[in-house]
């Protein structure tokens, strides 16, 4: 690492995780190790452009705010969804122009709005009348994007209880209030829920967006931005393809006018598959029954729910531990529990699993760890968060 900027390592013929582990002296390292393959982000960007050519992705920084990741996406040409002053500062600091940013948080502190105003980030979401009045007072020249609630039937993590106005009961009133205050509503947005697995959810929401557009135009707002939010899968490309087909069909039907700019706020889609987390067993316990027979093996590893594995606690992501031992498949298996390193008994990574009998120093690997992990990881109890090594194809 030079001057605080992490080095990017180049690989040929695919990223060989085993070789990286062998070269990383993990036995001397107390922290867990993350391997981030930046080329995976590039592949995701190409896939997005191929399947959703009309939609400009605005990467949701909250999903993983590592400056290396954010810069890589900025260089590829994505836009950004920022939720706070610090996220705006990070993205703007990388040289991204304010027009490429949507300030997609419907309830923002005044100081954050003032920063957005100073930096000329004009597009921002709003979902209730108090925020409309706040914008009238603090940022009247901004573009209001009315966020409404429209949730999928199936997702890993829902947001609708907290955000989004009710389309039938509130949306028209918000548009009218903005008009009366001489504010510009320029579009509408929604979020179906993170890790959405209901393909039809997008069309249901786009239909509601069409109605909001029609009403907005009827009362004189110049509506030209539709933001279809996030929710796209990070690892299931077949599901992504089905969602993309449904979205394209829906847009063709409901938003055929190419003058309407369509954006999205994917987070998980870009980063989830890019990270592999390598953890080391640093302690072990045997739990025996009254007859003294082995019941469960307990392993304590160097990352947990306060680290990158926070995603297992805060979203319904289930991680699959992979044992990194030669011949693991054919070894006898024992009922096992994996614990994180902290003193908290909630810091439990997996329910009972059947795993080989491992020892201190053996490694456990978790794939697809790029989403909602880095941004949540904290050194709780003094256990440090994993280090990350960055790689990309030559």
Residues tagged active-site: 343
CB atoms within 10 A of CB 366: 26
Nearer to ligand PLP, 229 or 386 (CB): 229
Residue 231 binds ligand PLP, judged by CB under 6 A: yes
Nearer to ligand PLP, 229 or 304 (CB): 229
Longest dimension (CA), the chain: 79
Given 57, 79, 124, 266, the residue binding ligand PLP (CB under 6 A): 266
Q: Where are the alpha helices (DSSP H) in 148-220?
A: 172-180, 201-218
Given 37, 42, 66, 81, the residue binding ligand PLP (CB under 6 A): 81
What does each C-alpha distance from 264 to 67, 80, 150, 163, 188 come to in angstroms?
21, 9, 15, 17, 11
C-beta of residue 190 within 8 angstroms of C-beta of residue 232: no
- For 94-116, give the DSSP string: TT--GGGEEE--SS--HHHHHHH
Residue with tokens 């087909």: 245
Q: Compute the least distance from the CB of residue 270 to ligand PLP, in Å.
A: 8
Nearer to ligand PLP, 33 or 196 (CB): 196
Nearer to ligand PLP, 167 or 297 (CB): 167
Residue 112 binds ligand PLP, judged by CB under 6 A: no
Given 44, 100, 221, 268, the residue binding ligand PLP (CB under 6 A): 268
- Of 265, 349, 259, 345, nearest in space to 309 by CA: 349
Mark 158-197 with x for binding to ligand PLP (rule: CB under 6 A) and - for no binding. -x-------------------------------x--x---
Interaction residues for ligand PLP, span 323-382 (CB under 6 A): none
C-beta of residue 54 within 8 angstroms of C-beta of residue 251: yes
Calpha distance 175→143 (Å, rounded): 12
Nearer to ligand PLP, 108 or 221 (CB): 108
Q: Compute the least distance from the CB of residue 19 to ligand PLP, in Å.
A: 31
Residue 64 binds ligand PLP, judged by CB under 6 A: no
Calpha distance 153→168 (Å, rounded): 19
C-beta of residue 255 within 8 angstroms of C-beta of residue 249: no
Nearest residue to ligand PLP, scored by beta-carbon proximity: 230
Residue 80 binds ligand PLP, judged by CB under 6 A: no
Interface with ligand PLP (CB under 6 A) = 60, 62-63, 81, 104, 159, 191, 194, 229-232, 265-269
């Amino acid at each position: 690492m030079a001057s605080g900027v992490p080095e990017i390592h180049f690989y040929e013929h695919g990223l060989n995780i085993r070789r990286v582990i062998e070269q990383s002296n993990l036995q001397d390292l107390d922290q867990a190790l993350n391997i981030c393959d930046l080329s995976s982000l590039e592949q995701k960007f190409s896939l997005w452009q191929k399947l959703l050519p009309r939609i400009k992705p605005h990467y949701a920084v909250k999903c993983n705010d590592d400056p290396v990741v954010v810069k890589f996406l900025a260089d590829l040409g994505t836009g950004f969804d920022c939720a706070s002053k610090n996220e705006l500062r990070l993205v703007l600091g990388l040289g991204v122009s304010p027009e490429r940013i949507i300030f997609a948080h419907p309830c923002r502190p005044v100081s954050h709005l003032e920063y957005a105003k100073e930096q000329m980030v004009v597009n921002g979401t709003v979902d209730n009348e108090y925020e409309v009045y706040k914008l009238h007072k603090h940022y009247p020249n901004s573009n209001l994007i009315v966020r409404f609630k429209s949730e999928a039937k199936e997702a890993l993590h829902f947001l609708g209880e907290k955000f989004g106005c009710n389309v039938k009961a509130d949306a028209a009133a918000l548009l009218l209030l903005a008009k009366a205050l001489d504010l510009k509503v320029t579009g509408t947005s929604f979020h179906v829920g993170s890790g959405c697995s209901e393909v039809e959810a997008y069309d249901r929401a786009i239909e509601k967006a069409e109605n909001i557009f029609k009403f907005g135009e009827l009362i004189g707002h110049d509506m030209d931005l539709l933001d279809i939010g996030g929710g796209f899968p990070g690892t299931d490309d077949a599901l992504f393809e089905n969602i993309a087909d449904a979205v394209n069909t829906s847009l063709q039907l409901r938003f055929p006018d190419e003058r309407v700019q369509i954006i999205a706020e994917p987070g998980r889609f870009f980063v989830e598959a890019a990270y592999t987390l390598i953890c080391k067993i640093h302690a072990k316990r045997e739990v025996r029954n009254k007859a003294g027979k082995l019941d469960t093996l307990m392993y304590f590893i160097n990352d947990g729910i306060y680290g990158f594995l926070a995603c297992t606690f805060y979203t319904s992501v289930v991680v699959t531990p992979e044992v990194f031992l030669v011949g693991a498949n054919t070894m006898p298996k024992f009922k096992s529990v994996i614990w994180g390193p902290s003193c908290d008994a909630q810091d439990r990574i997996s329910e009972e699993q059947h795993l080989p009998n491992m020892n201190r120093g053996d490694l456990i690997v978790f794939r697809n760890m790029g989403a909602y992990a880095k941004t949540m990881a904290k050194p709780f109890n003094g256990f440090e968060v994993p280090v990350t090594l960055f790689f990309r194809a030559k």
